[in-house]
Amino acid sequence: MNRSDTPATSFIHDVVQILQLARQKTYSAINSEMVIAYWQMGRRIVQEEQNGEQKATYGEAILKTLSVALTAELGKGFSYANIRNFRQFYLTYPDEAICYTVCSKLSWSHNRLIMRVEVPEARVYYLKECSNQMWSVRTLERNINSHYYQRLLSSQTKSDVSILDQDSDKIPANDFIKDPYVFEFLNIAEPVSALEQDIEKALIGNLQQFLLELGKGFSFVGRQFRISTETSHFYIDLVFYNYLLKCFVLFDLKTGKLTHQDTGQMDMYIRMFDDLKKQDDDNPTIGIILCTEKDETVVKYSILNDSKQLFATKYMLYLPTEEELIAEIERERRLLSMQLKGNEKLK
């Protein structure tokens, strides 16, 4: 018998797991209580400030005095900057219910990052997703810096997009699609000289970061995925399955401007996948063309304009500034407006 399989080893392993689970629960409980305590401290500070005759001067004096007293009594962790953070924590979330039901599920490091987000809707999104998806502090910071929420919001303009037939179970496909995608983790310099196959290979080589950028529910299926008919073989760049949308998601990677050939090719791939690979309990396949630039004419007059299963989004190989992202989203909205006006004329 292998020593690792002895009853004594199994017994020790079980005890270790019990202790590790207990420590994890203890840490989680302590973290939750500390986050709540910081919020309560912030509330008490604000209440005290509001009783002062000269609020600005009085408030700063309170923070400095409190920092000195708490450091002397309890040790490190109560610097003037941290005391200001506690006050800001309460001012950001004055609703006690939010603190107790959402913020307390995250670490203080998570909360400190999120409360610095200026847009209230974005803060709510990061609180919810960070808790549900169990983002690490590093992942949360990257998503905030890459304007994850704003990029996701920019894809919400294709109205009534859902891949499910039953209204009670509708999940909008564009809740899972960002525009643009950001692949700064590939460390490919601008201007792009890499071939499509090189970027594709790099994405798979950084699969964990790629999956985080794609968002929730994605599972990798294959690269250069072959799909065959009786007469021909075709190869799709990247294939994923999204277990929340319950469908296959196909990606076609382009290093140049979107063309009508690209949209026609992806439309064919979607139809073939629905016919040859989709199971009865799967929802219709989604196809996403990743390109470095969109052509307004192609978007307006190609199959892309009408299809609820076909999307074209840009990708960037660097973290955009807020100004760059706003400009990009505005271009997308102008393009969408042109599409909608064109559709109205056809009715």
Q: Is residue 101 part of a domain?
A: no
Closest Cα partner for 270 from 232, 313, 234, 223? 234
Per-residue pLDDT at 54: 47
Q: Which of 18-27, 97-106, 281-290 has the lowest mean pLDDT?
A: 18-27
Question: Once rounded to an integer, what is the mean pLDDT over residues 238-264?
Answer: 93
Shared domain check, 236 and 111: no
Same domain, 163 and 312: yes
For residue 10, what are the contacts with CB-CB under 8 A and spacing of at least 6? none
Q: What is the mean pLDDT of residues 325-338?
A: 72
> Looking at the domain assignment, is residue 53 inside a domain?
yes
Residue 2 located in a structural domain = yes
167 and 139 share one domain:
no
Query: Rounded distance, CA 244 to CA 275, Å?
Result: 21
Same domain, 226 and 203: yes
Residues 329 and 150: beta-carbon distance below 8 Å? yes
Q: Name the token pair of 252.
A: 């076609």
- The pLDDT score that the predictor gives to residue 323 is 82
Residue 308 included in any domain: yes
How far is CA 1 from each of CA 4, 6, 15, 87, 314, rounded to the nearest angstrom? Answer: 8, 7, 22, 61, 58
Q: Which domain holds residue 23?
A: 1-92
Percentage, residues of the chain above pLDDT 70: 84
Please give the pLDDT value at position 111.
Answer: 96
| Same domain, residue pair 127 and 256 | no
With a pLDDT cut of 90, the percent of the chain lying above it is: 46
Q: Read off the tokens for 191.
A: 């201007």
pLDDT at 170 exceeding the cut of 70: no
Average pLDDT over residues 126-142: 93
Residue 292: which CATH number? 3.40.1350.10
Residue 311 lies in a domain: yes
Exposure letters 35-45 (e unless 16+ CB within 10 A, then b): beebbebbbeb
Helix (H) or strand (E) holding 264: helix 260-276
Residues 312 and 211 occupy one common structural domain: yes
pLDDT at 91 over 90: yes
- Tens of pLDDT, residue by residue over 1-34, are 455 567 778 878 888 888 888 887 887 788 889 9
Total structural domains within the chain: 3
Considering the domain architecture, whether residues 185 and 321 belong to the same structural domain is answered as yes
Predicted model pTM: 0.77
User: How far, CA to CA in Å, does 261 sit from each of 125, 197, 302?
Assistant: 37, 18, 9
Check whether residue 141 and residue 213 sit in a common domain.
Answer: no
Q: How far apart are CA 34 and CA 38, in angstroms?
A: 6
SS (H, E, C) 269-322: HHHHHHHHCCCCCCCCCEEEEEECECCHHHHHHCHHHCCCCEEEEEEECCCCCH
What is the pLDDT confidence band of residue 174, given thresholds at 50, 70 and 90? Answer: low
- Higher pLDDT residue, 150 or 120? 120
Same domain (yes/no): 222, 340: yes
**Shared domain check, 334 and 198:** yes
Is 158 found in the same domain as 139? no
Residue 38 lies in a domain: yes
Looking at the fold, whether 87 and 222 belong to one and the same domain comes out as no
User: Is residue 12 included in any domain, yes or no?
Assistant: yes
**C-alpha–C-alpha distance, residues 194 and 199, integer Å:** 7
Average pLDDT of the segment spanning 139-165: 71
In a domain, 205, yes or no: yes
